[in-house]
Structure 1
């Protein structure tokens, strides 16, 4: 009797459920459980424009698994759930990374963490820059591209790779030798686009320790070197041209602003004061700079230096951690009087990541000639306080352009600068995981100290889709970033 009662109860509940007009269906692919929608966006033909971040560059190389995990590929996977079409990527030939030009290696393989330090994986690159791929391609992210490169004819001309005029990555999939990245994008009649560009307009200058030139005031990018800062007006002209071309037929899109590259682990890992000294060693080293310090006081006496600058330039060592000695071209030039432009670094100066294996080494095995101590660090090893300011000033100008264009064109906008600032100042919590900008262990960045890790790219993708939801009324669900690894292993 009890068994029959339970069966009758179950049957009656099932009958009610089947006849309930208010039955709720939960869509697990959306952010709110309601049917997945793109809102007012149209994502049937999505084209991604950008640089190495869009391409999926990681661990100092571009390789297949990294490309699959790029933030734009993750976005395309979300779009596919709501009617998005095929998103085609110009994949590399292997997971080793690196590039060949005429059979010669021009870019090396990716890095992996061997438990002690980032190390190149075993193997030789097999991706030949002169081997053309069949497109067209949806992911037009080009590693190394600056803003004006996206509108530069011939940027994909194989013949110009050796001279630096063309880009070896774009040469693989450019539709012709004379085309531009934007022209190849527009030719596909996109209904939606993403654009994140401008980081490289200051990055080369920063990573080279400011050894390039600040080209503010120079409106001719054809005269720029790879390590120069792009003039903000040149950036604005290129950026407006890109967006105008992409929106000419009504396509909607999303853009992102630029972080201060100086918040990346490439610039925050090596301390300015990594020199441990005993009291005796400090006394000995200070004595070595006695003549230089005395010369500074002579300059003050003769009104050739201010007292404040002389104090800034005075080099002193003490027991404990000491700042490195650097060459600073922004100091008042008194080399004509035999006074070099030297000082000790401060917390406002940033040692580049590559200096970690250089500081403390000796010149020609001479124990008295120690780099960063008795031998000052050259410009390439440190981004000085004044150079940091140049980078930030240019970035602020670029970001003003990006926000203005986004507002004028009705584009979704991603505030990425603030996120990067948070990463460098304690980190952020995402899916109950804390990520920071700490080198190797932080979870956000890869082993080159500049490009994201797999998890970092997933977080960026979520920030983009979140902005798309807010602007266009879509309800894309965030990816669970815990499903994305922090670092790639040696073998893929």
Structure 2
């Protein structure tokens, strides 16, 4: 079996085009001229608008924050409309460049933005060459106060955390670099402290996405757990959210809040197919007969275990098709670990030593190889359509896992043989961090439902406007949503709504959401952004930023 490196996932390759599915070449524009009512604020006071939240509030897009993205942030768009009916100045903690990324004392800690590379997202520097990230926490933080209090990466409880903006806490993992830029001479204050100090008359609060998104982005591997529903303030989502709403409305401020989408519908989790291994791929196709011969040994074990009463063992059999795309191999920790059974059955087999010898190993190595098979494939199976592969897995599948190679060599395998059993998603099951299993998706769905019930209850009790982003994103992921001359969809790069990171909206996507915020404000406070024709035109906003953006 030859060494397989860097299998190209042609199914993930993207062709970039403007996002519209409406053939409007022959469309005749005929606008009915009617008198629109004057724009009014209703009972809302927009004179001091402060937006609170995470990356979705900050204007994060293409996996970075940069000047152009901040200028097209959702709350900045809202502030421009609010200014027409009494809204004041809206100040943002602007980055220092359009590269994105952050440095500390000249040492880069966050990378520049993504750009479109012709087939999909690539790093900015792969297109324009090395850049100097000029946003440096040690030298050039802006001076507040800031009306945009969106902190990328913040969870609900982070908004209450003292020291979350302290540079001294950054190396301890207790601070957020984006908030460090905003705290100035008061590094130990919280996001909520700085917000309340401005005495907002109107606020937006969109928080909670990261309370589930962090878990999802890590493939549910446990390194970034879901925020519990219950618990003390600063721990459980329910008490934390109620505290935020209580503090923001204590002095009579009105506002708009948004709920949390089920993140499994965003392109970060829907772009990479579960079966990307094509027999037409020159690096993979010729190896299929050999691979099936290797897995044939394992499949016989699964068949035997099924006959011995191990229900579902045959569901784990691994077969690669020579005529159609095949699913990757994944580790499913929800499965019963059959490591010991696999090792025992192979060790007892009269033919397994002959199989071991076919790899140039002595027959005496059969017990060792049997144990390794058990260790590697004890919870392995091929992926199904129910599994969601995270977007970064597209660059991992088919590559050699060097840690696995080192481990297998330490067990006595040659480097060549160790390499053959270390091909990500082929001979080495994809680790949990690359795959959202059905069980993990259910955990996310339960959490999102609970969080959204809490958000809705608090909004209702406080008389706040509520934007149902969950329903909006669900519609984007299915039928798409017509807006202006476009149909926005959730497809990565081509759908128009989501940026190249597969998580955050494009500027056009943010403008569409800003309109939804204004519609919700109209319903609750009697303003008339929609009826007066004052909504934004999404076609005025880009779906991507050029690599050479200055």
Q: How do 1:404-419 residues align onto structure 2 when only pairs under 5 Å count? A: 404-419=457-472
Structure 1 distance, partners of 2:422, 2:187, is: 50
Shift of 1:299: 3.3
Q: Which residue of the partner structure matches residue 385 of structure 2? A: 347
Q: Does 1:237 align with 2:239?
A: yes
Q: What secondary structure is seen at the aligned counterpart in 2 of 1:49?
A: strand
Shift of 1:282: 4.4
Name which structure has the greater RCO, CA cutoff 8 Å, separation 6+.
2
Contact 1:443 1:455 in 2 (8 A): yes
Q: Which residue of the partner structure matches residue 263 of structure 1? A: 265
Shift of 1:281: 5.2
The equivalent position to 2:192 in structure 1, one of 170, 182, 187, is 182
The equivalent position to 1:69 in structure 2, one of 55, 67, 72, is 72
Contact 1:326 1:345 in 2 (8 A): yes
The equivalent position to 2:82 in structure 1, one of 76, 79, 84, is 79
**TM-score, L = length of structure 2:** 0.78
The equivalent position to 1:325 in structure 2, one of 325, 329, 342, is 329
Structure 2 distance, partners of 1:136, 1:269, is: 39
Query: Could you say if the C-alpha distance between residues 425 and 333 of structure 1 is closer, same or farther in structure 2, counting changes exceeding 3 Å?
Result: same
The equivalent position to 1:114 in structure 2, one of 113, 117, 128, is 117
Q: Which residue of the partner structure matches residue 15 of structure 2? A: none
The equivalent position to 1:297 in structure 2, one of 300, 303, 307, is 303
Deviates more, 1:311-320 or 1:163-172: 311-320
After superposition, the C-alpha distances for 1:426-473 in whole angstroms (9 at most, x for unaligned) are 311111201111111110111111111110110111110111011111
Q: Which residue of the partner structure matches residue 139 of structure 1? A: 148
Shift of 1:296: 2.6
Q: Tell me how many residue pairs correspond in the alignment.
A: 446
Q: CA RMSD in A?
A: 1.9
The equivalent position to 2:137 in structure 1, one of 102, 105, 129, is 129
Shift of 1:368: 7.0
Q: What secondary structure is seen at the aligned counterpart in 2 of 1:193?
A: strand
Q: Which residue of the partner structure matches residue 432 of structure 1? A: 485
Contact 2:49 2:201 in 1 (8 A): yes
Deviates more, 1:162-171 or 1:364-373: 364-373
After superposition, the C-alpha distances for 1:213-270 in whole angstroms (9 at most, x for unaligned) are 5xxxxxxxxxxxxx22111121111111101000000101111111111111111111
Q: How do 1:157-168 residues align onto structure 2 when only pairs under 5 Å count? A: 157-168=166-177
Q: What secondary structure is seen at the aligned counterpart in 1 of 2:381?
A: strand
Q: What secondary structure is seen at the aligned counterpart in 2 of 1:160?
A: helix
Q: Does 1:209 align with 2:219?
A: yes
Structure 1 distance, partners of 2:421, 2:228, is: 43
After superposition, the C-alpha distances for 1:115-169 in whole angstroms (9 at most, x for unaligned) are 2332222412111123442211110000000000001111111101112101111
After superposition, the C-alpha distances for 1:24-80 in whole angstroms (9 at most, x for unaligned) are xxxxxxx98212111011111111000001000111110011001000110011100
Provide structure 1 residue ranges, at least 5 long, that are not aligned to the other structure.
Answer: 1-30, 214-226
Q: How do 1:250-399 residues align onto structure 2 when only pairs under 5 Å count? A: 250-277=252-279, 282-303=288-309, 305-306=310-311, 309-318=312-321, 319-337=323-341, 338=343, 339=374, 340-362=378-400, 366=419, 370-399=423-452
Structure 1 distance, partners of 2:70, 2:515, is: 17
Contact 1:109 1:124 in 2 (8 A): no
Q: Does 1:195 align with 2:248?
A: no
Provide structure 2 residue ranges, at least 5 long, that are not aligned to the other structure.
Answer: 1-33, 126-130, 231-235, 344-373, 403-415
Structure 2 distance, partners of 1:148, 1:298, is: 51
Structure 1 distance, partners of 2:77, 2:313, is: 54
Query: Could you say if the C-alpha distance between residues 467 and 32 of structure 1 is closer, same or farther in structure 2, counting changes exceeding 3 Å?
Result: farther
Q: Which residue of the partner structure matches residue 412 of structure 2? A: none
Structure 1 distance, partners of 2:332, 2:155, is: 27
Q: Does 1:472 align with 2:525?
A: yes
Q: What secondary structure is seen at the aligned counterpart in 2 of 1:172?
A: helix
Structure 2 distance, partners of 1:310, 1:374, is: 18
Structure 2 distance, partners of 1:281, 1:385, is: 30
After superposition, the C-alpha distances for 1:264-303 in whole angstroms (9 at most, x for unaligned) are 1111111001112379854443332223223333434444
Structure 1 distance, partners of 2:467, 2:196, is: 23
The equivalent position to 1:152 in structure 2, one of 134, 142, 161, is 161
